[in-house]
Amino acid sequence: MSFREEIKTICEYWEDMTSWNTCIFDMEARALSLHLCMVVTKGVKLASRIMDSAALRLDKQGEIYLHTTKQTLNMYVPIFVKLAEDTNHKNFNNKSVFSLLGALRGVAAISHILVKDALESVEHVEYGSLNYSLLVQDTDDSWHEFEQNINNLEHKFRAVLNDNSKIYELLRPTMEEAIALTVLFISQMVTRHERVLGYIPNTKGRRATKASDEGGPPGSKMGFGST
C-alpha cells in the first residue's frame, strides 16, 4: 500500500484524540474530531488505491504515468495529514473544511485523468467508435457531476460562515457527503481505468466483454462502457 507512513501518522493523531481528558460537555466535539480523522484517513487510502491502479499500466508510458500520478497525489495527501494534525491540536477551523473539500476534489480529479489518459492509448476500432464515444462522454459527465456536487457543498457551507450554530450543524453532514461522493466517484474511475487497460498491450487491466458478445445493442452499457 502506498502512503503507509501518512496513514500511520494519522492513526497516531487518532490515538492522541481518544486519550483526551474531556468532560461530558466536550464529548461531542471529540466525536466530531475523530470523525474528521476517519475521513482524512479514507482520503489517503483512496489516494493509495489510485496509485495501485496507476501501477497496472505496464506499457512504455506506464512508468511516466506512475511517477506523475504519485507526484500529483503528493500535493493532496499532506493536506489530509495536516488536517488530522490541526484537529489533534484543536486548530480545525472553517478554512479547514474548504481544504478538505479541495483535497478530495484533487484526488478524484487524478482518478479521472488516469481514465482519460488510458482512453487516449486505445484504438477506437478495438471495440467500435460508438462505444468509445459513449465512454468518453460518460467519463466526462461523471466528473462534471462530481465536481458540481462538491461545489454545492462548498457553497452551502460558505453561506453559513456568519452563523456559528449553523456551521456546527453543517460540519459533519458536509464531511460525510463529501467523502461518500468521493469514494463513489473514485471507485467508478478505478474500475473503469482497469477495464480500459485491458485494451492496451502489456498492461494488467481486466478486459471487458463487448456489448455485441453479450447480445447487447451497439453502444449499450452492457459492454466496455459499463462500470
Name which of 37-46, 72-81, 189-198, 216-225 the model is least confident about: 216-225
Which residue type occupies 129? S
pLDDT digits (tens, 9 = 90+) for 5-28: 999 999 999 999 887 766 554 667
pLDDT given for residue 125 in this prediction: 47
Count of CB atoms situated within 10 Å of the CB of 60: 9
Instruction: Reduce the DSSP state of residue 217 to 3 states and report it.
Output: coil
- Residue 142 Cα distances to 25, 116, 209, angstroms: 42, 12, 22
pLDDT digits (tens, 9 = 90+) for 91-147: 888 999 999 999 999 999 999 999 998 888 876 545 556 677 888 899 999 999 999
Considering the chain, what is the average pLDDT of its residues? 84
Alpha helices in 55-163 (DSSP H): 62-73, 77-88, 94-120, 129-158
pLDDT given for residue 65 in this prediction: 81
pLDDT digits (tens, 9 = 90+) for 29-82: 788 889 999 999 999 999 999 999 999 887 767 788 889 999 999 999 999 999
Domains of the chain, residue spans: 4-199
pLDDT given for residue 27 in this prediction: 67
